[in-house]
Amino acid sequence: MAEKMMGVVYHGKGDLRFEERDIPTILDPRDAIVRVGMSSICTSDFHIRNGAVPIAKPNTILGHEFAGEIVAVGDAVKKFKPGDRVVANVETFCGECFYCKRGYVNNCVEGGWYLGCRIDGCQTEYVRVPIADNGLIRIPENLDYEDVLMVSCILPSGYFGAELAEIHPGDTVAVIGCGPCGYTAMMCARLFGPARIIAIDRHDERGEFALKNGWADVFVNTKKEDPIEVVKRYTDGRGADSVIEMAGKDESFQLAWKLARPNGVVSLIAMYEEDQRLPLPSMYGKNLVFKTGGVDACKDQMLVDLIAGGKLNTRPLITHKMPLNDIMHGYEIFEKHLDGCIKVAITPYER
């Protein structure tokens, strides 16, 4: 193990630098040190860079999506040993508090979003993972890093959105936003047996990607058709049984509740930058349910099981792959959606 490593460090608003850092060591008996085998870049990394995440600490290595191999574990780690292949959970949680016991791990009294935000993350070569027994999931033998990389963040986010939406067999589900999390929401919505998933976006190529991969059954380009009319056409005039809102804009918020049939469920998983207007008088009697919030990533083991069983496949999301040496270029093509980029996989530094 060398003593230095390269990583993307956040130095304050607008200031990301790819630079040399010390390799981390065990600080707490529940820690594990993981050698990063594959990592990725998330929209949240831009939110930090833009200064929009108040809890983010300057001088921190970014990145919270990764898989790799354990190189060291603290004395209190029970489930893992060096050599184990693992994928990480974006959330750090104790597993024992009031919230964790109920599956609300992102409200853990001891945890939350730490990796790549408040402590060094994974856009580098080695990572210290706190409370490793909860923060890491073993990778089954028949899977490789590309199979499970999305389990860190966007697959559980999509699952969370789909689970909240209370989908039943035979339902019609509308998903607003054909970005990475919209896609994983569609895949996961499928697990609940709906009759159809209707994807909604403003870009044909994004919708067609969902159709081509079998994630959606119908695509509506809002610039060409009224999605409310399309959804009603498929539901005998009622509206969608469940709506998953992944776009996070004022228009998409208003569209979400209008798409839902009376007594339907609207799952608001997007991160909104503005307060929203809830027109309760206009929707009186429609008896809608709104579920708000960020991912509760407590189902990662189950998601890995489903990938291993061939029931979920996030590999098509990885459109680009490059070594850590080129990560700043990866930031650019991901941010600008260049070359059809959906997600970038970062492989180890090449010396």
The site for a second copy (CB under 8 A) is made up of: 78, 95-96, 98-99, 102, 104, 106-107, 112, 133, 159, 169-170, 188, 190-196, 217, 236, 238, 262-263, 268, 271-294, 296, 299, 302-303, 305-306, 308-311
| Distance in Å, CB of 237 to a second copy, minimum | 9
CB of 249 to a second copy, least distance (A): 12
Residue recorded with tokens 């986010």? 157
CB of 167 to a second copy, least distance (A): 10
Contact between 173 and 167 (Cβ < 8 Å): yes
Crossing angle of the two packed helices 180-190 and 154-164, in degrees rounded to 10: 50
Which tokens belong to 259?
């798409």
* Closer residue to a second copy in complex, CB, 16/303: 303
* Rounded Cα distance, 165 and 147, in Å: 26
For a second copy, the closer of residues 191 and 322 by Cβ is: 191
Among residues 139, 144, 147, 199, the alpha carbon closest in space to that of 311 is found at 147
Q: State how far the Cα of 64 lies from the Cα of 104, in Å rounded to an integer.
A: 19
Least separation in angstroms between CB 331 and a second copy: 24
| Nearer of residues 83 and 169 to a second copy, judged by Cβ | 169
Two tokens at 118?
A: 């408040």
Q: How far is the CB of 157 from a second copy (least distance, A)?
A: 12
CB of 163 to a second copy, least distance (A): 8
Pairing label, strands 172-176, 240-245: parallel
CB atoms inside a 10 Å sphere around CB 288: 18
Q: Which is nearer to a second copy, 31 or 296 (CB)?
A: 296
User: By C-alpha distance, which of 249, 221, 332, 243 is closest to 291?
Assistant: 243
Shortest approach of a second copy to residue 329 CB, angstroms?
31
Residue 200 CB, nearest distance to a second copy (Å)? 18
Q: Phi and psi of 51, rounded to 5°? A: 80, 15
Q: What are the residue ranges of helices labelled H in 165-219? A: 180-190, 204-212
Given the complex with a second copy, which of 36 and 216 has the nearer CB atom?
216
| Closest listed residue to residue 156, CA positions, set 64, 280, 275, 78 | 64
Which of residues 59 and 292 has its CB atom nearest to a second copy in the complex?
A: 292
Q: What are the two backbone dihedrals, phi and then psi, of residue 64, each rounded to the nearest 5 degrees? A: -135, 10
> Around Cβ 85, how many Cβ atoms within 10 Å?
20
Nearer Cβ to a second copy (114/126): 114
CA dist 114 to 90, 96, 139, 227, 317, Å?
A: 8, 18, 22, 38, 25
Structural tokens at position 144? 């490789």
Coil, strand or helix: which one is 266?
strand
Task: Tell the burial category of 118 from Cβ atoms under 10 Å away from its Cβ (0-12, 13-18, 19+).
Answer: middle
Question: Whose Cβ is closer to a second copy: residue 305's or residue 335's?
Answer: 305
Nearer to a second copy, 125 or 217 (CB): 217
CB of 280 to a second copy, least distance (A): 4
